[in-house]
């Protein structure tokens, strides 16, 4: 039985179908997945690749996530917080480079107060035509409402894994405040944000079942933007340190944090969410500097997020080591990316690059929602 009456043979996106594709290793069989993901990408979001300038505004963080190099207990990391004028200058640089939006990303930093971010958002909106995405972790509804009112358009908050037990292990609650990222995403949607989420592929303890559920969740929650990258071990963290092996799932069930599995996850995400904005992530480019960005764009992605953080700060925003482009100026990255995109026969998207919903509303009567 197909998952929906008109699902294409071989592309039934129920849990068993997604899991079978995730575990497929035969390169000839996978060609079908790659070409279907590319076809769906082209028919729903076209050949434009939208560029979002990434500004890493603060490396301070109060959380203890077991995977992230910026976690509060990381010692020997020189922390920084950009000031509003520096952030505005980066946004102006992004405009000069032809980007249609910026992403203000940071750790969960109480020093980025409600007023601080509201002032920055207002200034960017006053001085540039950019769409603004915030990615500042779990914040109060009061903060989120104030920032939306100031002009923020979008918010990124990855749920990291849909497995609740794994999530609680890798993402300890703040004392007395249970973390519920999905609930925050839904509230932000009600506030009028476009919402983005995503997962890491190959987190120690992540099973094939869990990863398949992640992809179905993107679809079921009708997410606007979806970032999928490989888990990259950071030696500053428990999951990248000498005891990391203790966290792994049994060998046949542990998802590997490799390029192939990340690309399969990305391609299936495109099939599940045909009109979502899906970036080719820095983590994948870090794993495969030669071809990572391109392979993602060929297998479902339609967005790239070039870094426009000033160079002295960039190396200090060390979520994981060896981050791609860490020593490239914003202008060098822009030239490099334009070349890569044109060589693929694609175009640079102009304007804010919001999600353009092409979704058929009748999920039961259509093949991948076409
Ligand atoms: N490897 C890969 N991605 C990571 N992130 C955090 N730590 C790592 C890591 N070690 C991702 C998380 C987070 C995003 C900002 O970066 O998914 O949401
Ligand atoms: Fe940064 Fe190529 S994208 S140097």
Q: What confidence tens digit (pLDDT) does each residue in 185-230 have?
A: 999 999 999 999 999 999 999 999 999 999 999 999 999 999 999 9
* 304 CB within 6 A, ligand 2: no
* 95 CB within 6 A, ligand 1: no
Determine the Cα–Cα distance for residues 276 and 266; give it in Å rounded to an integer: 12
Q: What confidence tens digit (pLDDT) does each residue in 241-300 have?
A: 999 999 999 999 999 999 999 999 999 999 999 999 999 999 999 999 999 999 999 999
pTM above 0.85, yes or no: yes
Q: Which ligand is nearest to the CA of 203?
A: 1
pLDDT score of 1 more than 70:
no
Segment 333-342 shows an average pLDDT of: 95
For the chain, what percent of residues have pLDDT higher than 90?
A: 91
Instruction: Give the model's confidence band at 357: pLDDT under 50 very low, under 70 low, under 90 confident, else very high.
Output: confident
Find the 77 Cα to ligand 2 centroid distance in Å.
24
Residue spans of the domains in the chain: they are 15-365
Residue 335, pLDDT score = 95
Residue 172, pLDDT score = 96
pLDDT score of 44 more than 70:
yes
Find the 199 Cα to ligand 1 centroid distance in Å.
8
Residue 84, pLDDT score = 98
Segment 25-46 shows an average pLDDT of: 96
Architecture of domain 15-365: Alpha-Beta Barrel (3.20)
Residue 351, pLDDT score = 85
* 104 CB within 6 A, ligand 1: no
Nearest CA to ligand 1 atom 13: 158
pLDDT score of 77 more than 70:
yes
Q: What is the 3-state secondary structure (H, E, C) of the chain?
A: CCCCCCCCCCCCCCHHHHHHHHHCCCHHHHHHHHHHHHHHHHHHHCCEEEEEEEEEEECCCCCCCCCCCCCCCCCCCCCCECCHHHHHHHHHHHHHCCCCEEEEEECCCCCCCHHHHHHHHHHHHHHCCCEEEEECCCCCHHHHHHHHHHCCCEEECCCECCCHHHHHHHCCCECCECCCHHHHHHHHHHCCCEEEEEEEECCCCCEHHHHHHHHHHHHHCCCCEEEEEECCCCCCCHHHCCCHHHHCCCCCCECCCCHHHHHHHHHHHHHHCCCCECEECHHHHHHCCCCHHHHHHHCCCCEECCECCCHHHHCCCCCCCCCCCCCCCHHHHHHHHHHHHHHCCCEECCCCCCCCCCCCCCHHHCHHHC
For the chain, what percent of residues have pLDDT higher than 70?
A: 94
CB 106 within 8 A of CB 58: yes
* 336 CB within 6 A, ligand 2: yes
Nearest CA to ligand 1 atom 18: 158
* 62 CB within 6 A, ligand 2: no
Segment 62-88 shows an average pLDDT of: 97
Q: What confidence tens digit (pLDDT) does each residue in 295-318 have?
A: 999 999 999 999 999 999 999 999
Residue 8, pLDDT score = 62
């Amino acid at each position: 039985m197909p998952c929906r009456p008109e699902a294409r043979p071989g592309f039934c996106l129920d849990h068993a179908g997604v899991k079978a594709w995730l575990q497929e290793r035969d390169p000839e069989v996978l060609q079908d997945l790659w070409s279907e993901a590319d076809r769906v990408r082209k028919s729903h979001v076209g050949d434009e690749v939208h560029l979002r300038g990434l500004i890493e505004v603060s490396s301070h963080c109060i959380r203890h996530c077991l995977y992230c190099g910026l976690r509060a207990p990381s010692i020997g990391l020189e922390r920084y917080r950009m000031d509003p004028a520096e952030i505005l200058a980066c946004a102006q640089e992004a405009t000069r480079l032809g980007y249609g939006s910026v992403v203000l990303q940071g750790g969960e930093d109480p020093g980025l107060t409600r007023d601080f971010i509201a002032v920055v958002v207002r200034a960017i909106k006053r001085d540039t035509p950019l769409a603004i995405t915030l990615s500042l972790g779990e914040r109060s509804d009061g903060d989120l409402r104030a920032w939306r009112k100031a002009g923020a358009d979008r918010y990124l908050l990855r749920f990291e894994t849909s497995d609740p037990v794994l999530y609680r292990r890798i993402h300890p609650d703040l004392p007395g405040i249970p973390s519920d990222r999905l609930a925050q995403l839904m509230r932000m949607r009600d506030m009028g944000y476009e919402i983005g989420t995503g997962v890491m592929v190959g987190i120690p303890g992540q099973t094939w079942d869990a990863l398949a559920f992640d992809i179905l969740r993107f679809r079921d929650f009708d997410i606007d933007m979806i970032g999928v990258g490989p888990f990259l071990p950071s030696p500053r963290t428990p999951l990248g340190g000498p005891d990391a092996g203790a966290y792994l799932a049994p060998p046949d069930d542990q998802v590997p944090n490799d390029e192939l599995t990340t690309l399969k996850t990305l391609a299936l995400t495109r099939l599940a969410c045909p009109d979502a904005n899906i970036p080719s992530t820095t983590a994948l480019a870090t794993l495969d500097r030669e071809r990572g960005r391109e392979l993602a764009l060929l297998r479902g992605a339609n967005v790239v997020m070039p870094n426009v953080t000033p160079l002295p700060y960039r190396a200090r925003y060390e979520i994981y080591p060896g981050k791609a482009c860490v020593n490239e100026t914003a202008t060098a990255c822009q030239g490099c990316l334009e070349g890569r995109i044109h060589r693929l026969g694609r175009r640079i998207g102009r304007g804010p690059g919001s999600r353009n919903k092409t979704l058929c509303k009748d999920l039961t009567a259509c093949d991948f929602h076409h």
